[in-house]
Structure formats: C-alpha cells, structure tokens
Structure 1
C-alpha cells in the first residue's frame, strides 16, 4: 500500500523532472514567439500565458518542495498521527495553496485552447459550449451560502474550511468538488480540442489538392497529441480519485508541469513546421532559379548525373544585297518607327553581324541593344523590292 509520505516523495521527484523539461520548452517557445519582432506581429497574449504558466508551475514546485520538507523533517514527525497524517490533512496551508495554483493553471490552459479554437473557426457560436464549461470551472462565490456551482473556487473553499473529515480528501465534503472539477476540465478541454482539430483537418484536406506538403498536417498531429496527453492525464486522475487510490496525489503533482509542456509543445511544433515549410519553399525557388556552371562538354558528376552547360550557337547569315539599298537610311527609318523623335537626329550605322569579330559560343556575349531590331518588321518607306539584311541585329 502506497503511503502518503512515499507518494509525496515520488510525486515531487517526477514533478521536478517534468518541470525541467517544461523550463527548456519554455525557452524554445519564447524564442519562437519573440524572434523577428520587427518583421511580424507578436501575439503578446500567448507570451503572457506562457510566462504565467511558468510562474505558477514554479510556485507549485516550490510549494511541493516546502511541503515535503515540512512534512518529513520539521512539523510532520511531531504532528498527531505522524507524517502520513500531515500529508492527509486537506486544510493544511500548503495543500490549499497547491490546489489554488493547480486550478489557476487549468483555467489558463483551457482558456488558451478555447481562444485557439475561436481564432481558427472565427465564429463565436462554436465556442459557446467550451466557454460555458470554462465559466463553470471558474464559477462564482456566494459568501453566505458558499460556492454556488462546481468550480475551482468551490473546491478551494471546501478545502480551506473543511472541519469534519479534514483528514480524508475522498470524503463527500471535498470529494464532490474534486470529481466535478476533473470532469469539467476534461469536458472543456476535450471539446475545444476536438473542435480545433476538426477545423484544421478540414482545411488540410481542402489544401491537399493544391500542394503536396501542407503545414496543417503537422499542426493537426501535434494538436491531437497534446490534447490526448492532457486528457489521458486528467482521466487517470479522475479514475484514481473515484477508486480512492493514493496514486491520485502522484498524478495531481504531475499535471502541473504537463499543462506547461502541452502549451509549449504546440507552439514549438507549429513554429518548427512553419520554418521547415519556408525552408522548403526557398530551396525549391533556388533550384528553379539556379543555372549550373559549365564544366566542359559531357561533364559528369560523381553521382552519375550530367552537368548542364551552355549551348554554343553558330548563326549562318543570308544577306540579299542591292546597290540601291543604303544601310544608313535603313537604320534611320527603323529608329523613326521606334521613336519618331529620333528621325531628325543622326544615328550611327548598325554593326553588321559579319563584321563582328569572334565566334558566338561559351563565354561570348553581345550588346543587348543590338537585338532590338530583330523583332521589328522592316520600316515603312523601304520598297518591297529592296533587299533586307536578315542578319541585322544578330
């Protein structure tokens, strides 16, 4: 049989390990959300939620360490009934503080999931049911008759004011609040996650016909994974509490860092997926715009593929000459068609292709202006029987 003292040691140890992971993931998530602040808008609400979860989980970690120290070394050994009786008392200050910190983290995580669902759907009626569940978690408090609904406030009020059966967390005085709290947070988070995942799945399926690699697929996967991790943890805690197992203390302390891990995991995975998508697009663009340098005819790479090389072109000219044709007038008339204002200005004679020196091939180039006339028909004023230099401009 697991004693409460042993459960406290085990739960604090596991919580410390998970807390270390959550701190590392917090740093990664903050780097992803705060990078390139000058180029894109930062979602400060998500940053504030991430910082708040770290602060509350740190406070709960410190509270559990202090509770373990008090229960095993200072107050616990002299407490009536020993250390086990100290850890069993639900109205003890550290137990109530730990419960308040846990409830606050639950409210933050569920609010973030509802917010993400609304951002994806952009319809307020979709998140009405999760919002009602979240309101039930937060609840209201009537100081004359006590808590009016199954809420976090109701649970903490019942723990702090427990008089009868204060050494039994499974008693009806506190047990009904804990059961209702676990059931409400499970329903709220699970419904929001299913709505979010279904919407992203629909978008991913529609976008699959336009692009093979979609960023929505890894996002959908991590939403399902994070929701499953949190939901299974809450379900395990609910089952352990219903069967009145001391293991509920271990699971309860594990939930706090798991809440932070689930929150940061989605940000990190989505950020990395977006980075891979941008990198893939840049690589594809670079591949399309890259011209391989020539390394000789028939050059071959080590992997057996051939290197693309420049194509050497030799142009054969066919010139019909006529003694009555003046190339200078041809050039002047052509410029008059391109720009009428140039008709009154003297223009230099065009360079004949057969007067150019050198061969056209690898490493050779021509003035881009010499190609202008290639796409222009013979100008008006040139008689139909006159010869045309078909090599002009080449």
Structure 2
C-alpha cells in the first residue's frame, strides 16, 4: 500500500528542513573557505552558492506556508489530502517553478565544469547548452500545463510525458557530464607520477558529486513512473541536495584531496582536482622549500637554492584555483 498524499507531504517537509539545515551549514563553511581565496574565485563561486541558497530558502518557505494551510488553517474545511491534490494551486506552481530553476542552474554548473575542463571547446559545449535550454523550457511548460488543470484534475498525458522527459534529460546531463569530466582527467593524468593511485582522490570527488545528484533524480523518476506519492518527497528534497552537492565539491577539495601532508605526493592530486575549476591541465612539479647542497668531485659545495626560483627550466604549475 502506497503512502498517503498528506503523510508524504508532511514527511517531505520534514526531510527538506533537515537537508536545508545541512546545506546552510555547508554554505557558511564554503563562504569561509572562499573568503581566503582570490577575487576571481569569490566572484564566480560565491554568487552561485548564494543563488542556490536563496532558491532553496524560497522553496522551503513556500512548503512551510503550504504545510500550515493544509494541516492548520484548512484542516477542518477541505483537509490536507484534498489541499495537496490541487495541482493548480499558486503556491504549488511556485514551488515546482523553483524546483525547475534550481535543477536547471545545477545542470548549468555541471555543463560549465565540463566546458572549462575540456579546454573551453565550444563544439563539445554547445550541444550541452542546447539540451539544457530545451530541458528548462520543457520544465516550465509543465508548470504552465498544470496551471490550466482543475482543482482535482489529474495530470494530462502530454504533461506526464513532459515530466518524464524532464527528469530523464536532467539525469542524462548529470551522468554524461560527470563521465566526461572523469574521462578527461584520466586521459590527461594517467601517465603522471603515481599513475592511477594519484587519480583516485580526483575520481572520488568528481564521481561522488555527480552520483549524489543523479541518484536523487533517478529516485524521483522511478517514483513518478510507478505512481508513488514518494515523488513529492523527492521533489522537496532535491533543491537543498543541489546546494549540498555544489558545496561538497569545494569543501572536499579544500579539506581532503591532497590535504594529508605537504609532501610532493599529496600536492599532485590537489593540482589535478583544482584544475577542474579553472580548466587548467598542467603538470605540477614539486620543489623543495629548503636549500639543497650538492658535493662535486673537488669537494666544493654548490648552493642550489636558485632552483627554488625555477632556474632549472622546469615548468611551474599554473593552477591558481588552489583550494
């Protein structure tokens, strides 16, 4: 037996509040990390994180208002189940519009990551942007279609097909771009010192960030196709999950990848993952920060501290997005 609509909506509000608290905590940690970075990093990443938080906040406020109306204000008149069954409710339409905006923005960030890592190749990025824009248009069409339905009407076949398409394309964009990013890192770094072992931290960050979001969308698609009211739970949970995923990418890079020790081995994975945000695929070369002495046959000690200045003709890493 499926979960009733009123109970699913109440559980969705509870879980959304829980995940929003996690997102809010990670957001402030992210701001603290970005406050110590360069102006370019703050100008790009801080507005995106703030916009994701604003949309998630607005979505939560609307759901709280709907919950008060369903379980307090109108509980003795129409009941919570009938209240949530009204798909043409202005608050419900606003909530779905915010969900579409949040997911479209998240997909845009994923496409942008794929764009900068592939050397800003427009031939690879333009198809992704077209699919992203078309998918967003489909999502807003669904909102418009729901606004034309009656108070107790069901979703039309056309709107149902569009909803399925929107969920499927959203998951496709996330999975495809994540695989593209992982493959790009593998092909450019597999011959670096350390081999696949050095790439492992990079794959952890990239795959985890994509898997968390893609799994949530997959659960939403499955619940919709089987006609379960669990769909409403996932609809409310995904907006804060989008922000959590974005913040985790930055925090994982800053606190975990290559952060165990300041050795040459740890500096290589850090350079790889930080190049993900700037599109730089450069070779990092470790330099000792201590003066080094070399004895030759005449027992003469030659100070090699000039090598610290890069006089050994070795390329120094150009990655400036050091988290």
- TM-score category, normalised to shorter length: 0.7 to 0.9
Aligned counterparts of 2:5 and 2:96: Cα–Cα separation in 1: 17
Distance 1:213 1:243 in 2: 42
Q: After superposition, where does 1:337-352 map in structure 2 within 5 Å?
A: none
Once the two structures are superposed, residues 97-123 of structure 1 have per-residue CA deviations (whole angstroms, 9 ceiling, x without a partner) of: 100111111111111111111110011
* Whole-angstrom CA distance in 1 between matches of 2:99 and 2:48: 15
Instruction: Report what 2:136 is aligned to.
Output: 138
| Mapping of residues 127-166 of structure 1, within 5 Å | 127-139=125-137, 151-163=138-150, 166=151
Gaps of 5+ in 2: 268-285, 294-299, 301-323
Q: Distance in 1 between matches of 2:104 and 2:261?
A: 34
Structure 2 counterpart of 1:54: 53
**Does residue 235 in structure 1 map to residue 233 in structure 2?**
no
The structure-2 alpha-carbon separation of the partners of 1:290 and 1:65, relative to structure 1 and needing over 3 Å to count, comes to farther
Q: Does 1:179 align with 2:179?
A: no
In the alignment, which residue of structure 2 is the partner of 1:101?
98
Alignment of 1:211-226 (within 5 A): 214=198, 216-226=199-209
In the TM superposition, 1:259-278 aligns within 5 A as 259-273=242-256, 276=259
Deviations 1:177-211 (A, max 9, x none): 211210121112221111111111223313235x8
- Indicate the structure (1 or 2) with the bigger Cα radius of gyration: 1
1:270-349 mapped onto 2 (5 Å cutoff): 270-273=253-256, 276=259, 279-281=262-264
Does the Cα contact within 8 Å between 1:162 and 1:173 map onto a contact in 2?
no
> Secondary structure of 2:259's match?
helix
Deviation at 1:290, TM superposition (A): 9.8
Partner of 2:5: 4
* Consecutive unaligned residues in structure 1, runs of 5 or more: 140-150, 292-370, 372-394
Contact 2:70/2:83, CA 8 A, preserved across alignment? yes
CA RMSD across the alignment: 2.7
How far apart, CA to CA, are the structure 2 residues paired with 1:287 and 1:124?
Answer: 40
| Cα separation, partners in 2 of 1:169 and 1:22, compared to 1, 3 Å | farther
How far apart, CA to CA, are the structure 2 residues paired with 1:18 and 1:56?
14
Q: Does 1:118 align with 2:115?
A: yes
Change over 3 Å in CA distance of 1:169–1:185 after alignment to 2 = farther
1:104-144 Cα shifts (integer Å, max 9, x gaps): 111111111111111100111122332221011223xxxxx
- Report the 3-state secondary structure (helix = DSSP H, G, I; strand = E; otherwise coil) of the residue aligned with 2:161: helix
My pick for the range that moved more, 275-284 or 115-124, is: 275-284
Count how many residue pairs are aligned between Structure 1 and Structure 2: 273
Residue 2 of structure 1 aligns to a residue in which SS? coil
Distance change (3 Å), C-alpha of 1:222 and 1:169: farther
Superposed displacement of residue 271, structure 1 = 2.2
Residues 67 and 153 (structure 1), Cα distance of their counterparts in 2 relative to 1, 3 Å cut: same
Q: TM-score, normalised by structure 2?
A: 0.77
Distance 1:193 1:136 in 2: 20
Larger RCO (CA within 8 A; separation ≥ 6): 2
Residue 14 of structure 2 corresponds to: 13
- Answer 1 or 2: which has greater helix percent: 2
CA 1:169–1:223: 2 relative to 1, 3 Å: farther
The superposition leaves residues 274-316 of structure 1 with CA deviations (integer Å, 9 ceiling, x where unpaired) of 662783359997796699xxxxxxxxxxxxxxxxxxxxxxxxx
CA distance, structure 2, for counterparts of residue 273 and residue 36 of structure 1: 17
Q: CA 1:273–1:203 in structure 2 vs 1: closer, same or farther (change >3 Å)?
A: farther
Which of 187, 193, 198 is the matching residue for 2:178? 193
Q: CA deviation at 1:156?
A: 1.1
For the 8 Å contact 1:170–1:241, the answer to whether it is kept is no
Structure 1 residue aligned with 2:309: none
Give distance in 1, aligned partners of 2:58 and 2:156. Answer: 27
TM-score scaled by length of structure 1: 0.63
